[in-house]
Every structure is written in C-alpha cells, then in structure tokens.
C-alpha cells in the first residue's frame, strides 16, 4: 500500500524516488532499501505516469548488476523466499506493467518477480501490456527471464500436471505491431529462429528434473488469441501444424525478450488436453485451476533451484541479439525514440 503521509521529493544525479524514508546518498533502482515500496519516475518531473530516467538508464545500463526475472502466470502470483525485497512501481513509455515488481535476493542473486496477470489474476491475455512488463524488467537490469506459463497439451505424452521445457514456437496471435519495441524511426529485425535461450533452457531442465524426473525436454508452443479456449476444429488444426502445447501469452514475451537482449526460457505447466482428445473432458477453468494449484509449489522449487545455476555474467547469444539486428544508423535515431529505448539500446551510446 502506498503511504498516505506527505512524501519528500528526493533528487539524485540519477533517479527520483518518491518514498517516506531517505534512500542511500547514491543509488540505482537496484539499491532501494529493503522491505519498502518505491515509485520510480524520471529525474526532475512529478508526472503521474512516466518512465524511469532514460538518460540515466543509458549510462547505467552496462554497469547494473545482471538480474534474473521471473514472470508468474496463472496460479503463480507471488514468489516466496525472496530476501531484502522491495515493491517497485515502474512507469514506462509503453504504459503500466501488470503489477508492481518485487525485487530482492535468492541465493545471493538479484531477482525481479512480476505476476503476468496482476495480483488476483485481473488481466485477460489480450489486456496484458507485454511491452511495459519487459521494458520495466530490463530497466532493472534483468538479463535472464524464466517465464512460468500454463499450457494445454496437444499430445498424448504431455499429460496434465507434467512439466515441459519448450524449444520452439508458433505465433498465431497476429498482434506483432503491439509486440515490438522498434519503429518510430528505429528499425530492427531480430533473429528468432530459436525463440528460447538454449543455455537457460538446459539449466531450467536440469533444475526441473531434480523435482520432476519426467520433465519433458522440448516441444512446440503455439500461442493463440484468447480469452476463449479452442474449438475442436482449431485444436485438430493446431495438432496438424505440429504444435505440442497451446497457450495465450508466451509468444509476445519471448519476442520482446529477444529485442531487449534478455535470455528467455519457458517453464510450461500442463493443465489439460485442450479439447482434441475425445475421451477427455474439454478444457474448463475449474480443471485448469486445480492442476495449476497442484503444480505451483513445484514450479517455485524449480525456479529457486535454477537461480543458483545461472551465470553472473550475461554471455548467451540472446544477450547480443541486437548486434546484427539494427538497420537504422545510430546518427539517424530520433531522440525521443532513443530515450524511450534507453534500457535496451544504452550500450550503443
């Protein structure tokens, strides 16, 4: 809850944070005092909804501690075991993220947790502001993202309550214009042949198999528009297309992570057989929630375990995705577009 007592305006060379307690003399978003909420806004403005200080982010981007992000999906709205935590409200040039970001430490590593659908599951898939979510995480130094996601199974061998680490994707959302950071004078086309970071995926698989030995290695995730579930004809078509899993959120997250040079992997929790399997009931919310509740504590254990396996220095190919993706020469970038993308393009000067 935000405090109701008057707040001080705290100016530093970097960020302006509205809070009740004095922060350290020099800080970044990563250094906010433990167990305190903060509202991060640009230096020198009192606008009600505006992004973190862009020029500052551009200078600080490389020096930030590389953090690990966790986006929790249906059934995973919080992450226990985070020490020294702060609740951060981040304002972005793309609007508001799904919720406050909980930033803290697990196994000595900086971890940032965000509930994809907001606390209490308030947002439908098409209402999620994926750009704001990924921008906010990147502004806090996130370089790896574990995306915990509920999925339907399109294959007999992927049973409800199984865990799958997908390695491929089919995007049928048709909303690509909403799911890119680029445009407005800066053109970029990232490689997306392998949508998930193999390095992170292998570590997540190793962690999963400590608790779920039958965790499946690989599979094709198909992303559809919701909020309604598939028709039987659609489910049959998706199977013919070669999809193994179906969900409504992971394609935009993965695409935006690649543009933001965040290594991303999905921990897919199977909840149902969609509606293709004639001897099973078609998917219903009640069954989805029941299976998610059964798997959520397992998913949290897997995530906590993998954090200690992730390297401290970001050195996967995904962390250099923009090296060969930017078309527009740096000298031609519009100032406003460059400022808006400071957390992502900061290393380019």
The domains of the chain, with CATH numbers, are 8-348 (3.40.50.1580)
DSSP β-ladder status, 163-165 and 263-272: antiparallel
User: Which pTM was predicted?
Assistant: 0.82
- Please write down the long-range contacts of 57-63, taking CB distance under 8 Å and 24 or more positions apart: 57/139, 57/342, 57/343, 57/346, 58/339, 58/342, 58/343, 58/345, 58/346, 59/346, 60/14, 60/28, 60/346, 61/342, 61/343, 61/346, 61/347, 62/346, 62/347
**Selected catalytic residue, list 167, 274, 279, 340:** 274
150: CB partners within 8 A, 6+ apart: 73, 74, 75, 247, 268, 269, 271, 288, 292
Judge whether 272 counts as a catalytic residue.
Answer: yes
> pLDDT tens across 156-201, in order?
999 999 999 999 999 999 877 789 999 999 999 999 999 999 999 9
pLDDT at 37 over 90: no
DSSP β-ladder status, 16-19 and 8-11: antiparallel
Confidence of residue 76 (pLDDT cuts 50, 70, 90): low
Q: Write down the pLDDT at residue 38.
A: 57
Which residue has 């579930």 as its token pair? 229
Confidence of residue 283 (pLDDT cuts 50, 70, 90): confident
In angstroms, rounded to a whole number, what is the distance separating the alpha carbons of residues 71 and 264?
Answer: 11
Q: Write down the pLDDT at residue 80.
A: 64
Are 99 and 118 spatial neighbours (Cβ–Cβ below 8 Å)? yes
Q: Write down the pLDDT at residue 33.
A: 33
221/38: higher pLDDT: 221
Q: Write down the pLDDT at residue 171.
A: 96
Q: Write down the pLDDT at residue 175.
A: 77
**Selected catalytic residue, list 162, 167, 199, 272:** 272
User: In the predicted model, what is the mean pLDDT of residues 69-80?
Assistant: 69
- Provide the token pair at 268: 């897919």
Q: Write down the pLDDT at residue 24.
A: 29
- Residue 331 bridge partners (DSSP): none
Q: Write down the pLDDT at residue 69.
A: 97
pLDDT at 16 over 80: no
For 275, counting Cβ atoms within 10 Å of its Cβ (0-12 exposed, 13-18 middle, 19+ buried), the class is: buried
Q: Write down the pLDDT at residue 344.
A: 97
For 176, counting Cβ atoms within 10 Å of its Cβ (0-12 exposed, 13-18 middle, 19+ buried), the class is: exposed
- Provide the token pair at 138: 């990147």
> pLDDT tens across 81-136, in order?
677 778 899 999 999 999 999 999 999 999 999 999 998 889 999 999 999 999 99
190: CB partners within 8 A, 6+ apart: 255, 258, 259, 321, 322, 325
Pick the closest to residue 61 from 107, 26, 29 (CA basis): 29
Judge whether 274 counts as a catalytic residue.
Answer: yes
311: CB partners within 8 A, 6+ apart: none
Q: Write down the pLDDT at residue 111.
A: 94
Least trusted range by pLDDT, from 142-146, 240-244, 293-297: 293-297
Are 140 and 60 spatial neighbours (Cβ–Cβ below 8 Å)? no
């Amino acid at each position: 809850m935000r405090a109701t007592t008057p707040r001080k305006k705290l100016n530093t060379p970097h960020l302006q944070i509205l809070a009740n307690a004095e922060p350290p003399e020099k800080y970044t978003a990563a250094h906010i005092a433990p167990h305190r909420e903060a509202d991060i806004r640009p230096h020198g403005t009192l606008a009600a909804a505006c992004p973190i200080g862009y020029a500052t982010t551009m200078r600080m981007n490389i020096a930030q501690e590389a953090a690990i992000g966790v986006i929790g999906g249906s059934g995973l709205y919080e992450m226990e075991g985070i020490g020294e935590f702060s609740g951060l409200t981040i304002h972005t040039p793309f609007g508001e993220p799904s919720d406050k970001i909980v930033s803290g430490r697990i196994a000595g590593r900086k971890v940032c947790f965000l509930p994809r659908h907001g606390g209490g599951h308030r947002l439908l898939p098409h209402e999620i502001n994926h750009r704001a979510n990924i921008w906010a995480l990147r502004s806090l130094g996130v370089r790896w993202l574990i995306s915990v996601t509920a999925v339907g199974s399109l294959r007999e061998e992927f049973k409800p309550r199984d865990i799958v680490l997908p390695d491929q994707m089919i995007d049928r959302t048709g909303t690509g214009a909403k799911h890119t950071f680029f445009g407005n004078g800066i053109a970029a086309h990232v490689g997306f042949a392998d949508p998930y970071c193999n390095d992170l995926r292998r570590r997540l698989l190793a962690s999963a198999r400590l608790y779920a030995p039958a965790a499946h290695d690989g599979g094709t995730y198909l992303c559809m528009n919701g909020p309604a579930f598939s028709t039987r004809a659609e489910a049959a078509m998706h199977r013919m297309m070669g999809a193994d899993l179906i969900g409504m959120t992971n394609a935009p997250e993965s695409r935006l992570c690649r543009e933001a040079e965040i290594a991303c992997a999905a921990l897919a929790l199977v909840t149902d057989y969609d509606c293709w399997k004639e001897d099973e009931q078609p998917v219903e919310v009640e069954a989805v929630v029941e299976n998610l509740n059964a798997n959520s504590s397992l998913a949290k254990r897997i995530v906590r375990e993998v954090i200690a396996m992730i390297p401290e220095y970001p050195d996967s190919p995904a962390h250099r995705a923009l090296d060969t993706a930017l078309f527009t020469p740096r000298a031609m970038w519009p100032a406003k577009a460059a400022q808006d993308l400071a957390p992502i393009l900061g290393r380019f000067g």
